[in-house]
Amino acid sequence: MKKSTVLTLTGVAAGGILGFLYWKFVGCASGACAITSKPLNSSLYGMLMGGLLFSNFNSTKKIKNDSTN
């Protein structure tokens, strides 16, 4: 498996766990919150955010700076 795929999947897993923990310990008392009212919503949102965040740590792209002044 590629390093970038492993990083993204790690972010998805960590985000899901953190999203669930956020629902469990903080949550939404009134139930009117769209994301934190249900554990599934909170976990899915955490998975999305974790995957996006960890996919930014991909170091396979190299930027070459050619300044020929």
Q: Going by C-beta distance under 8 Å and a sequence separation of 6 or more, which residues neighbour residue 53?
A: 11, 15
Residue 51 has pLDDT above 60, yes or no: yes
Nearest Cα residue to 19 out of 37, 1, 5? 37
Least confident stretch, 1-5, 48-52, 55-59, 64-68:
64-68
pLDDT at 17: 97
Q: What is the mean pLDDT of residues 29-43?
A: 88
